[in-house]
Structure 1
Amino acid sequence: MSMWQVSQARRTVLAVVTTSVLTFSLVSCGGGDDGGDKAADKPSTGQTAAPQENGTGGKGTVADDSEVILSIKGQDGIVLDVNSVIRDSGGFVTVNGVLKNTSDKDYSDAILWTGSELDLIRAAGASFAGATMVDKAEKKRYYVLRDTENRPLATMKIGNIKANSEQNVFMQFPAPPESTAEVDLQIPTFQNATLEITGE
């Protein structure tokens, strides 16, 4: 065998070995279609989801509308299903719920829930501004919070409520002391209800 043939044989062997090594490396690194790369898309156990926003316009826990803590009856087939009563780190308690008209007639007296303050009625229309939260242990009553334009931090502009309809609603109050676990929710024309406050 000539020197040229020996040189060619060595080059061929080297090429085969190099190709085999590269193929083995790619398979070991998970570069195939066996789903190895999909693991990189999953968050590690130390990661948490980004905070969501609730109906109050601030960051907080999203209410679970499928869970009804308590149903509060109003007049003429109106019912408020309370889904959550949440104390947040900002010093507020937010009541989230679903307002239902269970009758076959439209309801037009939602303005009664706003209270009797004329400025508030002008600013918010029919709303839950007239709701109060009572801490019986501390003997204190808390009113719905308001913004700088005298609008309540609660569902506003409710208007007529269609028959057999429902809508999400909320009310936000100053938080009572941490030691207070239960409060009474009082809304004009509704039954009084005792609710348990939960954390964020």
Structure 2
Amino acid sequence: MTVRTNLRAATVLATSALALALTGCSADETSAPQKDRASESRSTAPESEQPSAPDRTTGPDDGGDRVLAQVIGRDSIVLTITGVERSASGKSVTVSATLKNTGTKGFFGISAYGGTDASIKARMHSLAGATLTDTANSLRYYVLRDTAGGCLCSTALRALDAGEMVPVFAQFPAPPASVRSVDFQLPTFPNATVSLGAAR
């Protein structure tokens, strides 16, 4: 009885040991490829793309606005027209622009932009000398005035330091609705032809 019992116990132990050994091998064989696949996945996955900084070295320097026309005047002053819009009533047109000193020295010639009409108050440091020309009908429009005799335009302008840019505007009587382009002119600058849409 003792011998048979011992043989049975030995057989059971041997069978258990073999089963454990096979289970261990099976676990190692199945887990290893999974670990390799995970490692491979991490090594080949594309890195998250960082948003690239905007390229500020190209394109016209317009302060971020759209450019309808750009002309260069005296002493490297650049006039950039960014908007030409009729009023909702269709009775006036507003020209929006920027003036930038692209030279290396301060610019003190702002008084030239005021034009020669001495009846306009505070014109010497304003855009009172600007005009809008309907070349198709040979009509020229001057800056509108308020009830006090001042221009409906940028005023109190000062000298421009090197690299400095300022926004400016001027308002004019509106040409007929059929007119689709006009010439904007500011003293010391060439004419700038711009499109003129319908009233909004």
Q: TM-score range by the shorter chain?
A: 0.5 to 0.7
Pair 1:132 & 2:131 matched: yes
Q: Determine the structure 1 residue equivalent to 2:150.
A: 151
* Within-5 A mapping of 1:1-200: 65-90=64-89, 91-120=91-120, 122-199=121-198, 200=200
Q: Determine the structure 2 residue equivalent to 1:59.
A: none
The amino acid of 1:80's aligned partner reads L
CA RMSD of aligned residues (A): 1.5
How far did residue 126 of structure 1 move? 1.1
5+ residue gaps, structure 2, are 1-62
Alignment partners' CA distance in 2, 1:86 and 1:173: 10
Cα-to-partner distance string for 1:115-173 (whole Å, 9 max, x where unaligned):
112342x5243111001101011111100001011111111111211111001110110
Q: What is the DSSP-based 3-state SS (H/G/I as helix, E as strand, rest coil) of the residue aligned with 2:75?
A: coil
Alignment partners' CA distance in 2, 1:150 and 1:66: 31
5+ residue gaps, structure 1, are 1-63
**Count of paired positions:** 136
How far did residue 79 of structure 1 move? 0.5
Cα-to-partner distance string for 1:20-58 (whole Å, 9 max, x where unaligned):
xxxxxxxxxxxxxxxxxxxxxxxxxxxxxxxxxxxxxxx
Q: What is the DSSP-based 3-state SS (H/G/I as helix, E as strand, rest coil) of the residue aligned with 2:127?
A: coil
Alignment partners' CA distance in 2, 1:66 and 1:185: 18
Percent identity over paired residues: 39
How far did residue 65 of structure 1 move? 4.6
Normalised TM-score (structure 1): 0.64
Contact 1:106/1:161 (<8 A) preserved: yes
How far did residue 88 of structure 1 move? 1.5
Contact 2:80/2:97 (<8 A) preserved: yes
